[in-house]
Amino acid sequence: MTALLETSDLTIRFGGLTAVDTFNLSIQEGELFGLIGPNGAGKTTVFNMLTGVYLPSEGTVHFREKLINGRNPVQVARMGISRTFQNIRLFDELSVLENAMTGAHQHSKLTIFDSLFRTPRHFREEQRQRDRAYELLEFMGLEDRAGLPAKQLPYGHRRKLEIARALATEPKLICLDEPAAGMNTGEKAELSALIRKIRDELNVTVLVIEHDMKLVMGICEKIQVLDYGKTIALGTPGEIQNDPKVIEAYLGGD
Amino acid sequence: MARLLGILVAAIAVTFGANWLLDSFVDEYVVRIINLCGISIILAVSLNVINGLCGQFSLGHAGFMAIGAYVSAYFTTTLRYFDEAATKYVAIEPMFASEWGFVPALLAGGLVAAAAGAVVGIPTLRLKGDYLAIATLGFGEIVTIMITNFEKVGGANGLPGLPPYSNTFWIFSFVVLVIMLSWTLQRSTFGRALIAIRENELAAEVMGIPASRLKVMAFIYGAFFAGVAGGLLGHLLQTISPATFNFMKSIEVVVMLVLGGLGSMTGAVVGAIVLTALPEALRDVESGLGLPGIRMVVYSLVLILLMIFRPQGIFGQKELSLKLLARLLPGKKGDK
Amino acid sequence: MLPLLDSGVTFEAILQQVANGVAKGSVYALIAVGYTMVYGVLQLINFAHGEVYMLGAYFSYYPAKWLGYLPEGSEKPKVPLLVIGGLFVGSMAACAAIGMLIERLAYRPLRNSSRLAALITAIGVSLLLQNGGQMLFGADPKGFPQFVEQESVNLGPVALANTKIVIIAVAAVMMTGLHLFVQKTKPGAAMRACSFDMRTARLMGINVDRTIALTFAMGSAMAAVGGVLVAMDQPRLTPLMGLLMGLKAFVAAVLGGIGSIPGAALGGLLLGVAESVVGTWSTTYSEAVAFVILILVLLVKPSGLLGKSGREKV
Ligand SMILES: Nc1ncnc2c1ncn2[C@@H]1O[C@H](COP(=O)(O)OP(=O)(O)OP(=O)(O)O)[C@@H](O)[C@H]1O
Ligand SMILES: [Mg+2]
């Protein structure tokens, strides 16, 4: 079976700094995959290359056997990769529901004239987006807040809304960048369950960056460890926990 | 759609009645100010789609107006100019010589302006914020310089003799149209997408929203109505010149938006009315005080103070509605 | 439309225009540094900067008139160099004060709000100075006293007015002086630190407010020099003279690379020369040159010729 996502010798340099160095990643469909590493290891940069935000200096990314390098974020989104951001990027002035609806925009076949002149297609599409967005808010447990402006949402909920919005794009693969950052223990437990549900119920493959070891080890089936842009370990949570290089990287890092 | 059409027809009928009433019973000077307010509303509401909804700070609206004004005048007005080759004055009769040609001429002006909007929209794909502002300002200047060099339409001296086709009926028909279309645009998946681009362009793109295409679309939409407004203004003033559309005019429209609250369509309407009617009213005060020029000084001071103390404008990004009005009115809170 | 090359324009004529362009560009450079320094530190297009240049011209006009050197006199007055120097220094000081005042009153309260609000405020200040200027000075053009008799100086293949030679020389000295100040002195280092990273600069104990004020003061003083030079060369002062000049100087700053002082000099000279050369064929089209250059630079290399480019971190 070929992988859903496959990178080959992915490298990116910023001036003199090689932020990610000959990085190889292979994710199978339906996996729950963890990407970990100390601060500044290059994890977010990997996400940026997977989603068309940064152009790699060298190497390739293939998604469902199609080349991603050189495509822009819009094209990548339409191929079925979605993501959240480490530094939350919601549309603050839109409501919670509208934020989720923007994720569904790309699947609409409306023309601008349908909306300007309010054709029946316009109303059908609005209904479709609203229903889908509402379902996903329910899925993430945010339906009570649907009408609230996103900027008034408490921190933990903001991260969940980002996930709901990303899911509304109907992705095959969702990349979560530190989804538990800033959450308390209770919220983290809930989030773990949600991430599993995303994979099990929505059949979306999950790639997650997370610093909380308990959470990562608890949900991921496979974990890859980055340090200074290079892969230092790859394996099951059990293997990773006992890998001396990983322990060294985390202890030596700080 | 049927409801929309109903509202449109009703509104235009009202406009027609209002036009008749104003013409018959109201002072010409007042009618003129009302008409100027209408043109300002078209400008402000259309610019709001670019600057307010989509967050692309354009300072080039006057350029689109100029294009619309000159193109529509080209169809309705006799052009007289000095032919260098024949060394004599020649006249070109207008293509649309009757009032029936007015709307086609306006639409032609709007369409050419919209095409220019597409061209200007493309740089916005690479530029942000104040760089974009400066680039669009540069575009506006280039338009006026081109017109200055175009002797057939009068060059720097301007083009006189536009037929007086603009009236309250036509102006406010377009006011109704632009308000309705901007409203339906704003409240649709495209409106949300535009706001998403304004709020966080990268996140919007990662959600699959084609930011580049929508930004160009916003420019095309805004430019079309600016072009129509330019045509209406031209046929109201009856003489146009490149100076009518210099970059102060663009700034005026921006200030209308900012006063009302960038991103709020009703705010744009209120801003347009206030900033068109108020300076006219202040004209009397100015001559009364014997301080010519104080009007514009006050105008700029108000702008600065507004930015320092209430940068979100009168309405912020909210829309003026009866509900909001009720909340703003004192003593009405919590009445049962 | 545009008359083409076969319209009898000689190579000598173009060379002459290049020389005129250098003089014109020197003034752009003097004004452009103000934009570049302020943008470097605050990321603000100080729209009012062109008006500071206008004030610079008026601030030397009034004392010159008061001193009694009126243009109507049939005899050309003999003016000691010291007086002319005094006019420059006085205008520079006054403009520096105005620049700091604008920063303190209009821009500082907005330092933490959106850049759009700051930009609109800057436009407001610019309008205020234009309209205030029209009230105070009157809208009619003013003629500056002719201190020095304008004469043409032959420089090999080209001839240049003596006033234009003075413009080039003064601008070169001032620009070099400014560059050395920013590179070699302690306040200059503080300016560079602030434009590199304001927060870190503050943590390192730099007085950021004072450094910003100094940036405005120096930029405004340079604009004042430009104002006085132009007033002496082409005596036609109006309250709106700063508008187009300011826009073009900003274009020069963008062309050279915003934030870079040598860039402002280079951008100014290139723009001046380009305008003059195009002006050989059409003076109206030469007015469009700046804006065409602006749009091209922004599209092709937004960081300008000597600017540094950066990638936004996500
Ligand atoms: N646009 C950029 N320009 C220059 N350097 C960058 C850029 N983006 C990332 N870097 C650098 O690349 C390195 C990796 O950064 P990255 O954000 O990928 O780390 P990370 O593993 O996500 O860390 P953290 O756990 O702190 O989020 C860092 O040294 C960072 O400074
Ligand atoms: Mg990261």
Residues of A with CB under 8 A from a CB of C: 14, 44, 48, 53-54, 85
- Between the CA of residue A165 and those of B103, B191, B270, C21, C38, what are the distances in Å? 44, 17, 35, 56, 40
Contact between A197 and A218 under an 8 Å Cβ cutoff? The reply is no
Stretch (H or E) spanning B147: helix B129-148
For residue B25, is pLDDT > 90?
no
Q: Give dist(CA A136, CA A167) in Å, integer.
A: 7
Closest approach of B94 to chain C, Cα-based (Å): 22
The whole-number pLDDT of residue B332 equals: 42
Give φ, ψ of A115 to 5 degrees. Answer: -75, -40
Nearest Cα residue in chain C from A89: C314
In the reported structure, the alpha carbon of residue B211 is separated from the centroid of ligand 2 by a whole-number distance in angstroms of 25
Sign of the torsion formed by the C-alpha atoms of A234, A240, A242 and A246: positive
Question: Tokens representing B232?
Answer: 């209406």
Interior angle at CA C140, CA C139 and CA C145, nearest 5: 125
A142: closest CA among A121, A116, A129, A160? A160
Question: Tokens representing C21?
Answer: 């362009």
Ligand lying nearest the CA atom of residue C313: 1
Long-range pairs of A229-233 with CB within 8 A, sequence gap ≥ 24? A229/A18, A229/A19, A229/A20, A229/A21, A229/A23, A229/A41, A229/A42, A229/A45, A230/A21, A230/A22, A230/A23, A231/A23, A231/A24
Which one is predicted more confidently, C220 or B94? C220
Give φ, ψ of B246 to 5 degrees. Answer: -75, 180
Q: Give dist(CA B130, CA C294) in Å, integer.
A: 13
Which one is predicted more confidently, C101 or C284? C101
The whole-number pLDDT of residue A59 equals: 94
| Residues ≥6 apart with Cβ < 8 Å to B285 | B295
Kindly list the residues from chain B whose CB atom is less than 8 angstroms away from the CB atom of residue C131: 293, 296-297, 299-300
Share of chain C above pLDDT 90, in %: 49
Per-residue pLDDT of C161-201, as tens digits, reads 888 999 999 999 999 999 999 999 999 999 998 888 888 88
Contact between C92 and C225 under an 8 Å Cβ cutoff? The reply is yes
Nearest Cα residue in chain C from B150: C1
User: Are A83 and B206 a contacting pair at CB < 8 A?
Assistant: yes
Q: What is the pTM (predicted TM-score) of this model? A: 0.89
In the reported structure, the alpha carbon of residue A237 is separated from the centroid of ligand 1 by a whole-number distance in angstroms of 25
For chain A, what is the radius of gyration of the CA atoms? Answer: 19
Mean pLDDT, rounded, for B119-129: 77
Report the nearest-CA residue for atom 14 of ligand 1: A42
Nearest Cα residue in chain C from B139: C291
The whole-number pLDDT of residue C81 equals: 76
Atom of ligand 1 nearest to the CA of A48: 18
Helix, coil or strand: residue C152 = strand
Chains that touch A (3 or more CB pairs under 8 A): B, C
Least confident of A215-224, B139-148, B220-229, C219-228: B139-148
Interior angle at CA B198, CA B192 and CA B201, nearest 5: 100
**Tell me, what DSSP letter sits at residue B50?**
I
| Residues ≥6 apart with Cβ < 8 Å to B296 | C127, C131, C134
Any CB–CB contact under 8 A between C314 and chain A? yes
In the reported structure, the alpha carbon of residue A167 is separated from the centroid of ligand 1 by a whole-number distance in angstroms of 25
Atom of ligand 1 nearest to the CA of A42: 18
Q: Give dist(CA C123, CA B48) in Å, integer.
A: 18
User: Are C311 and A14 a contacting pair at CB < 8 A?
Assistant: yes
Contact between A174 and A206 under an 8 Å Cβ cutoff? The reply is yes
Ligand lying nearest the CA atom of residue A85: 2
Nearest Cα residue in chain A from C309: A15
For residue A82, is pLDDT > 60?
yes
Tell me how far apart the 2 most distant CA atoms of chain A are, in Å.
Answer: 65
* Residues near ligand 2 ion, CB 5 Å cutoff: A 44, 86
For residue A253, is pLDDT > 70?
no
Whose tokens are 């609409």? That residue is A108
For residue C158, is pLDDT > 90?
no
Closest approach of C307 to chain A, Cα-based (Å): 16
Per-residue pLDDT of A97-140, as tens digits, reads 999 999 999 998 899 999 999 999 999 999 999 999 999 999 99
Least confident of A152-156, A226-230, B331-335: B331-335
The whole-number pLDDT of residue C4 equals: 46
* Ligand 1: lining residues by beta carbon, under 6 Å: A 14, 17, 19, 37, 39-45, 86; C 311, 313
Question: Tokens representing C252?
Answer: 């020069």
How many C-alpha atoms does C210 have within 13 Å on its Cβ side?
9
In the reported structure, the alpha carbon of residue C203 is separated from the centroid of ligand 2 by a whole-number distance in angstroms of 25
User: Are A14 and C314 a contacting pair at CB < 8 A?
Assistant: no
Tell me how far apart the 2 most distant CA atoms of chain C are, in Å.
Answer: 69
Report the nearest-CA residue for atom 24 of ligand 1: A39
Using pLDDT thresholds of 50, 70 and 90, give the confidence band for residue B287.
confident
- What structural domains and CATH numbers belong to chain C? 10-300 (1.10.3470)
Whose tokens are 């220094």? That residue is C89
Q: Give dist(CA C59, CA C81) in Å, integer.
A: 18
- Mean per-residue pLDDT over chain C, rounded: 87
For chain B, what is the radius of gyration of the CA atoms? Answer: 21
The whole-number pLDDT of residue C271 equals: 96
- Beta strands A173-177; A81-83: pairing state: parallel
Kindly list the residues from chain B whose CB atom is less than 8 angstroms away from the CB atom of residue C127: 251, 296, 299-300, 303
Q: Give dist(CA C160, CA C22) in Å, integer.
A: 10
Stretch (H or E) spanning B79: strand B79-83
Stretch (H or E) spanning A173: strand A173-177
Any CB–CB contact under 8 A between B149 and chain C? yes
Stretch (H or E) spanning A21: strand A17-27
Q: Give dist(CA A34, CA C216) in Å, integer.
A: 51
For residue B176, is pLDDT > 70?
yes
The whole-number pLDDT of residue A254 equals: 47
Atom of ligand 1 nearest to the CA of C311: 1
Per-residue pLDDT of C82-102, as tens digits, reads 888 888 999 999 999 999 999
- Mean per-residue pLDDT over chain A, rounded: 93
Question: Tokens representing B109?
Answer: 């002006």
C267: closest CA among C279, C251, C244? C251
Nearest by CB to residue A91, choosing from B196, B208, B211, is B196
User: Are A73 and B1 a contacting pair at CB < 8 A?
Assistant: no
User: Are B304 and C125 a contacting pair at CB < 8 A?
Assistant: yes
User: Are B189 and A119 a contacting pair at CB < 8 A?
Assistant: no
Residue A33 bridge partners (DSSP) = A207, A222
Sign of the torsion formed by the C-alpha atoms of B234, B238, B242 and B246: negative
Kindly list the residues from chain A whose CB atom is less than 8 angstroms away from the CB atom of residue C314: 44, 48, 53-54, 85
For residue A67, is pLDDT > 70?
yes
In the reported structure, the alpha carbon of residue A43 is separated from the centroid of ligand 2 by a whole-number distance in angstroms of 6
Using pLDDT thresholds of 50, 70 and 90, give the confidence band for residue B292.
confident
| Residues ≥6 apart with Cβ < 8 Å to A136 | A100, A103, A164, A167, A168
Atom of ligand 1 nearest to the CA of A37: 21
Sign of the torsion formed by the C-alpha atoms of C120, C124, C126 and C130: positive
B257: closest CA among C106, A217, C117? C117
Stretch (H or E) spanning B105: helix B102-121
The whole-number pLDDT of residue B84 equals: 75
Mutation choice for ligand 1 from A17, A23, A175, CB with most ligand atoms inside 8 A? A17
In the reported structure, the alpha carbon of residue C314 is separated from the centroid of ligand 1 by a whole-number distance in angstroms of 8
Closest approach of A218 to chain C, Cα-based (Å): 28
Q: Give dist(CA B182, CA B194) in Å, integer.
A: 12
- Between the CA of residue C44 and those of B258, C120, C161, what are the distances in Å? 18, 10, 36
End-to-end, the C-alpha distance of chain B in Å comes to 37
Mutation choice for ligand 1 from A11, A13, A25, A43, CB with most ligand atoms inside 8 A? A43
- Between the CA of residue B153 and those of B77, B150, B159, B248, what are the distances in Å? 10, 6, 6, 22
The whole-number pLDDT of residue B327 equals: 64
Share of chain A above pLDDT 70, in %: 98
Using pLDDT thresholds of 50, 70 and 90, give the confidence band for residue B1.
low
Per-residue pLDDT of C132-150, as tens digits, reads 999 899 888 888 777 777 7
- Mean per-residue pLDDT over chain B, rounded: 87
Question: Tokens representing B169?
Answer: 């009926």
Q: Give dist(CA C26, CA C46) in Å, integer.
A: 20
Contact between B120 and B60 under an 8 Å Cβ cutoff? The reply is yes
For residue C70, is pLDDT > 80?
no
Nearest Cα residue in chain B from C300: B126
User: Are C110 and B304 a contacting pair at CB < 8 A?
Assistant: no
The whole-number pLDDT of residue A149 equals: 94
Contact between C65 and C267 under an 8 Å Cβ cutoff? The reply is no
The whole-number pLDDT of residue C311 equals: 56
Mean pLDDT, rounded, for C244-258: 92
Mutation choice for ligand 1 from A10, A14, A86, A224, CB with most ligand atoms inside 8 A? A14
Closest approach of A13 to chain B, Cα-based (Å): 21
Mean pLDDT, rounded, for B32-38: 94
**Tell me, what DSSP letter sits at residue A17?**
E
